[in-house]
Structure 1
Amino acid sequence: MSEPARYRFLLISAFSLPEGAGYRMRAFRGRKEDMLLNGERLAPLLQDVEWDVHPGAPATHGQHPVEMREEFAITGVNRLPLVREACQSGKWNAIILLGGGDPGYVEAREIGHRHRVVVTACAHAQMHAACLLGTRFTVLDISENHNLRMADLVVQYRMTDRCASIRNVEFPLPRPAHAGRPNVQEESERHARGEPSAMLESAVTEAVAAIEEDGAESIILGCSAAYWLQTPLRERLAALGWDVPVLEGYSAAVAQAKMLVDLGVDASGLAFPADPPKRTRRRKFV
């Protein structure tokens, strides 16, 4: 009988849309590689991982990608039962929550620690990786409303003294509210065809401003749909003489999960106590 794989990861998407729904940016059924926005780029990190993808809970916020705070809250609540079921199964030693806004992440970690299962998410993993690379990072993000979600996460993750800025390129997700406007998916497809991308040009401009004006020493991508910017943006910055890392959420979350599995830890029981806690503290710091 073969030994179980060292890394057994379930990647859970933020939500799923039904067949025929508009604003679909990826497959929700079929090959697991096709259910990832950047499956081809992520493949090297997953070579030694036994893994699968859950398409996400059926969307109840609307038939479109998530940008608003309300939508993030709804999406987070919807996928917590999926996290609980995955942890209870005993099949996985890490859960990776896909999606740049980390919906449900903190609550999912509480569930994960109960079962000693690692839980990681894209924004959280990128911010912590960026802190290993330099003193301050900039979040390069896609739209005004999504920027506000990222600002909330910077505060929640205690990164206010490490985040140099949140820079907005204003190429939002494809949604009914943005009908007729250039969006991140169209720009991704344009770049894939070898055509000039206005979003890439805006990303270069804002990244240079983040370095020169804000003091950023690394760049993280706020939205998972902007994953395709990672390589061309890094190359363009290097051509300008800027030796600056550009991070992307899916790969950072998988790499962080591997690190925590290798360390044999998932989360602190003081940060995520049992119900009820075995011990309680008289004083807590905020």
Structure 2
Amino acid sequence: MANEENFDAYKPERIASLVESAGVRKAQLPLLNMFVLAVLAGVFIGFGGAAYTAVMSGVDATFGPARLLGGVVFSLGLILVIVGGAELFTGNALMVMAAVDKKISLRRLLRSWTVVYIGNLGGAAGLALAFGHSGILDGPLEATAETIVQGKTTLEPMEAFIRGALCNALVCLAIWLSFSARTVAGKVLAILWPISIFVLLGLEHSVANMYFFPQGWLAGADVTVGEAAANLVLVTLGNVVGGAGGVALAYRYAFLADPTR
């Protein structure tokens, strides 16, 4: 019976404590370690983005079963981050729980977000550069890579912001659910559906876009740096609001707040 209990999912109250403790550990990482893990996360999300590009080549990239399959293969990125171990900016929005409870300082939180964001950008863009010089983006993938980024630059500012918020709510929920699992298989299944659904719905993930824009440029997309930067700023702000506010603060209030205050 004791062995069976070891495979039971953690209760939400326990998940909240685990997520908050993880936020404290993340904030205390040495800068070099944090940066290396952030670069790895950018690469991992980039692999998911490359797989998505391959799946969507030659099919209707708007909606439908192909888009869902694209979401399934894109999930590889977060699976590698969670199971392999890496620092992802969007997931680190959950660190707000520890900051609100004064277990880490605002300075530590912002330091972590800044270092991880830069590392994610370096890893994602570096992988796109590698793919661009590998010949993999030639042919059908080239056209798909162009279409992906051109679609992102047509979004209105409010659309990009809201899609970013909704996206990171699902990403942080995927991470939250992964904390409930005690096995690798459980973590993979917890991650799979929230990530697949955000891709299916066409939501916006800042770190994924750090890969998609360089990939698009290497494929010959007529998108300016200014257009890419505008998208990244709006999507990043949305990601912070959706993850930190929509998930972290909501669960912190539900499970960690002192009801006597």
Normalization by structure 2: what TM-score? 0.29
Per residue, is there more strand in 1 or in 2? 1
> Larger % of helix: which?
2
Comparing both chains, which one has the higher relative contact order based on Cα–Cα distances under 8 Å and sequence gaps of 6 or more?
Answer: 2
